[in-house]
């Protein structure tokens, strides 16, 4: 058994010590094995996105420790974290965060821009990721012209283009109708079958009932319950 994620008393307190202090994530101990899919659920404001940002190394904990791929990432500087993210982590944001005015292809390639790859290598990786996310037929379209479901698939393709070991998705069905949400869960099933480790937040009943997840974690007021 290989642990891909291990957190020890992980906490994130915003405005610590101030009157407006928010304990968004408190003393979380979470273990995720490689190849597992974990669902993070809980009411709005319970700390799901904050925990996901910590797991994505996008945000620094205020206390506790985070080991990702057995590396003590919570002790690393921003420079090392950026590199680690580029190489190992894929993120699907709740609001897609696609760049308007660019094509699908140009959006998917974005995580590869800082890496030293040839144009041909980049094009190959974009094609592979687009196929995994079932959006390869739209590569030359402007993202602005796509449907919500297609935009979400572009966001998934972009999260996959660096072939991440760890895939994090924050409410990925929030803007999708049930048909597109089903399709998207199908894509995540395929990714899991290919050995990806997935952590997804959601309160969508369609996602909660899905058989993808080997572990369901419930958050309440920043804590695991
Ligand atoms: N950057 C921030 N600065 C201050 N407070 C924050 C920040 N981000 C989140 N919070 C607070 O932390 C708490 C947890 O927020 P979080 O976004 O993690 O909840 P969530 O479970 O993802 O909610 P939702 O289901 O609505 O997306 C909330 O009280 C929120 O206001
Ligand atoms: Mg959230």
| pLDDT range class, residue 124, cuts 50, 70, 90 | very high
Nearest ligand to the CA of 42 is 1
Spatial CA neighbour of 103 closest among 133, 64, 69, 144? 144
Structural domains present in the chain:
3-224 (3.40.50.300)
* Residue 11, pLDDT above cutoff 90: yes
- Give the pLDDT mean for 170-186: 88
Pocket test for ligand 1, best of 22, 56, 93, 203 (most atoms within 8 A of CB): 22
Nearest ligand to the CA of 44 is 1
Average pLDDT, the chain: 95
Token pair listed for 200: 């997804």
Token pair listed for 45: 């404001």
| pLDDT range class, residue 180, cuts 50, 70, 90 | confident
- The pLDDT value recorded for residue 13 is 98
Taking residue 24's Cβ as centre, other Cβ atoms within 10 Å add up to: 23
- DSSP H or E stretch at residue 51: helix 48-55
Pick the residue whose CA is nearest to atom 1 on ligand 1: 14
Q: Is the dihedral of CA 127, 133, 137, 141 positive or negative?
A: negative
């Amino acid at each position: 058994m290989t642990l891909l994620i291990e957190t020890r008393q992980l906490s994130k307190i915003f405005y610590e010590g101030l009157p407006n202090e928010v304990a968004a994530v408190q003393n979380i101990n979470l273990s995720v094995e490689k190849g597992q899919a974990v669902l993070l659920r809980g009411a709005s404001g319970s700390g799901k996105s904050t925990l996901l940002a910590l797991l994505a190394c996008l945000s620094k904990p205020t206390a506790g420790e985070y080991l990702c791929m057995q590396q003590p990432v919570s002790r690393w500087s921003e420079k090392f974290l950026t590199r680690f993210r580029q190489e190992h982590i894929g993120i699907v944001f709740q609001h897609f965060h696609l760049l308007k005015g660019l094509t699908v292809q140009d959006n998917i390639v974005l995580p590869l821009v800082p890496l030293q790859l040839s144009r041909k290598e980049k094009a190959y990786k974009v094609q592979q990721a687009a196929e995994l996310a079932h959006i390869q037929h739209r590569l030359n379209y402007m993202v602005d012209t796509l449907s919500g479901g297609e935009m979400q698939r572009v966001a998934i393709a972009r999260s996959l283009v660096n072939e991440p070991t760890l895939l994090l998705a924050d409410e990925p069905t929030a803007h999708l109708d049930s048909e597109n949400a089903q399709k998207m869960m199908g894509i995540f099933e395929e990714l899991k079958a290919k050995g990806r480790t997935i952590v997804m937040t959601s309160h969508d009943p369609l996602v909660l009932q899905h058989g993808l997840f080997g572990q369901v974690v419930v958050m309440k007021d920043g804590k695991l319950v």
